[in-house]
A and B are shown apart, each in its own frame.
Chain A
């Protein structure tokens, strides 16, 4: 009967039609005054619709109603409601209450267990597991008990508690083992985890080596075989470890086992009375395996790995005697495998280790000389053969070029000409050969190396501010090379990643975003790759498209937070216990993700800008939840940085920061703790202005000033500018509250700050300096000024609302003048971007002047003409979009303020004199080819269809 009555509600829920579900619930409640099933589901629907208070009250009413939870529909409705409301204790209370009425206690206890497990309620989880294990005596409940003990131990505050929990977990698992109830590898893995946490390696080994039905199941398990060898090393049985590794490698080729073998061999030499026999045997084995088909790479690299380990452990004599000179081994490896794309990443760390060791022995030069000589001997023949259409030689050339790059980095070569040398030979092969037409991977690799060399040389040669125009010129040429590579083979994501970086460096958001979109980045990649683009649009005045992307990121995190606990539940349900620790660590990394916090702050920033001129901006600020975004040093330290900065295919180890192009080409510093503190304080300051909370405002603005002072180079100058402006707004507001006479002076200071960052002298001509100024600072300054203007407007609205009319009027008048100035300057800039930018790029960036790039200029602009022309258009078009976007903000204020202000402040209504805006319709027409992402940029104030983060 109840099921039939509730069917329409379930149907509506199935179709995610919450409004219909609510109507159906109400219909039932009207018909049957106390229909607990309908009420429970109504509570759930209300919770989903964000009516938290109403939903909570209703759900609690139903829970307290005598006998209501007898019904499975009520149980389900209430559990859904409490889950949606984030009240796990109440969800457990539903099942606990139901236990009194139900005959299916096992299922209810399981639900309690899962609710506790999902919500990390470890005590409840454990207590329920114990009840299930005692009452229902199923094997899986035993492992739930073990898992619960283990999780409690991991979170225990005291060592003694931790030990106790682990001992109990171990005993429970041991009992299961003795009784033959440890039957699969998942149960074995959690038992091993418990032992590992106690450092009981002997016991672990004993379990892994034990005979029995499980032995057969684990004999081919890659992870467990490696773990067994590792445990032998940990327990000091190195000889046995060597033997086990040898046995494992006889039947399968697993690099982890080679490394363990090498580790065990080195460890044997540390024992008293040790001889080099194990090392000799290992090398003999490696050589034997190297001869076997398909195993050569691992076995050969294992020789180098063993030699490196022996040297590092102080057994150079053994290494030299048994293996011979490591440098020669390295080059013999390169000779054998340089036709494989992976060769360089295999060998890079060993070359670095060799050079580092030599440096420690004052032998760096001789080692580098040795490697350089070896390289030179091979490079020219590889290059010649590659140009003779030999595919393997082409890949070998790529490998050798990568090594050449590394060698230059290892010797700290600062000669930009040496960095650019060879690029003129690489480019025709990479972009203009038959191989390039055939999309051979070596050609794309070569495009990347060539562009990286251009960028590296440019940063070395033109690091001084006076030479920034030349830096831009070089980066533009690197971009042309990358774009030509992308045009030939659009599947090459590495080229796109580097192009995105360079476009953003040159303040070109539009093309960077278009390339980013082609990478189809989604889901978890919002966390790992979002840093490439999120916030960069806002820094360039393109708020709306950036905000849309940030919303995608924010919603990913929200979804992940809801779904991972469900998957944890599945791991318990399916008995895949090895996932529990992994899933929890994964969840923690996402919930406390640095990128998550940054994306959220960017989204907030975008929203402020979106609502900057609308009438409900004060209400938005007033209702903003600023408590949850407040950060302390401790909360920031607890964040995990999941950003995949290593994805860009760097040619040097990531720790060689001086030669790390990922760092070098960052348009702004990677957002970290200081940035996060600043952009957590900015919304708080605005909130306290709107709420007229002077004490909090004073405190937060002082905090912000302190962060600015300590930020140094960790935050971009434009973000610092914005933060300083916010501090000035706070001071201004506090002055108004206290009737301070300095108000007018402070207001002038704020207005000057905004105006000073809108380009005062626009590039009238077409010099490369003008281009560099637009590319490296003008657009970013103007965007920061525009953003600051919207914050100042919010403060002005707050003064009006708080009945401080004289201050509000002064503020309004001053901002009106700022708007006029801004509009005039922005329009001039718009005209320039529209009419002259392209011409300037043609004249300056495409010029063949400049000694450093002369060897490649001819190639770039003759044979890649079409690409360089479209790259130039992309740059010019991006700048125009940015300026139009910012320009639109000032214009928008003109259109919407009358309705917003409800004041007689007529200066806002004044249209600008015609001479002030000297832009005719033709100048606003898009440039050829710029319409690709038009909708993003025209939709500055569009409805982005997402609930505000400010609430």
Chain B
């Protein structure tokens, strides 16, 4: 049970209960503000009954031609708000916007292989491992350097589901730029 609404810049003053989690990166201000000023309808937050923030999703759309897609930049849920289906709810918002508003071919995301709980959730939502990205995550002194799983889910526009045919070999980070 939560209120889903657009994220606001002022929410950054009270998202610590979410961002102190070790899997959640706190980015430079410009990063958040750029997402807000570019794709405000793909930046959603869940708020609890006592008005504390429970989790949020930052997304964007990018690519050309059949690569036009929605991308999950960050999806995070506060520890005490896990196992409530919030992650799925937030993902649904992005998928719906990617499909209905932006008419994308697919949605993709990157996740640490060590984050097995998240991977399980994405698999349940229909995402598949599309490719691995070499050393996508660099160490920040807290989290180690790791490959990324690039996971994808085709949307209805991709009738032939060409966007979700897995690649056989890992790719480098620069190969993931659109």
Contact = CB atoms under 8 A, between A and B. Distances in A.
Pick the 9 closest A-B CB pairs, nearest first.
A298-B1, A567-B33, A586-B9, A493-B20, A256-B3, A341-B80, A570-B37, A297-B1, A571-B37
Given A528-B16, A644-B13, A340 B84 contact: yes
B20 A567 contact: no
Contacts of A349: 49-50
Contacts of A253: 1
Interface in A479-511: 491, 493, 497
A589 B26 contact: no
Contact of B37 (A185, A527, A576): A576
Nearest to A566: B30
Contacts of B73: none
A525 interface: yes
Nearest to B50: A345
Interface in A243-272: 253-256, 258
A670 to B, nearest CB: 16
B30 A563 contact: yes
Interface in B86-101: 93, 96, 100-101
A518 interface: yes
Interface of A: 185-186, 217, 220-223, 226, 253-256, 258, 294, 297-298, 301, 305, 340-342, 345-346, 348-349, 441, 491, 493, 497, 518-525, 527-529, 559-560, 563-564, 566-567, 570-571, 574, 576, 578-579, 582-583, 585-586, 589, 642, 644, 646-647, 649
A769 to B, nearest CB: 37
B128 interface: no
B50 A348 contact: yes
A773 to B, nearest CB: 34
A647 B37 CA distance: 28
B97 to A, nearest CB: 9
A863 to B, nearest CB: 26
Contact of A576 (B14, B38, B100): B38
B65 interface: no
A342 B13 CA distance: 21
A524 B33 contact: no
- A256, A345, A520, A528 pick with most chain B CB within 10 angstroms: A520
Contacts of A222: 3-6, 44, 93
A854 B6 CA distance: 51
Contacts of B27: 523
Interface in B11-63: 12-14, 16-17, 19-22, 26-30, 33-34, 36-38, 40-41, 44, 47-50, 52, 54
Nearest to B88: A294
Main secondary structure of the interface of A (DSSP, over half): helix
A521 B38 CA distance: 26
B44 to A, nearest CB: 8
Contact of B96 (A220, A255, A305): A220
Contact of B26 (A185, A256, A523): A523
Given A342-B81, A647-B16, A523 B10 contact: no
Nearest to B141: A520
Contacts of B28: 523, 559
B50 A522 contact: no
B125 to A, nearest CB: 15
Interface residues of B, number: 51
B57 to A, nearest CB: 13
A346 B48 contact: yes
Contacts of A528: 13-14, 16
B79 interface: yes
Nearest to B23: A491
Contact of B14 (A340, A559, A571, A644): A644
25 contacts: A220-B100, A254-B3, A298-B1, A342-B48, A342-B80, A346-B48, A346-B49, A519-B20, A520-B26, A520-B142, A523-B27, A524-B29, A528-B13, A528-B16, A559-B28, A560-B29, A564-B29, A567-B36, A570-B37, A578-B6, A579-B37, A582-B10, A644-B13, A644-B16, A647-B16
A517 to B, nearest CB: 8
B33 A578 contact: no
Contact of B10 (A346, A567, A586): A586
B12 A524 contact: yes
A223 B44 CA distance: 10
Contacts of A340: 83-84
A774 to B, nearest CB: 31
Contact of A574 (B38, B54, B80): B38
B82 interface: yes
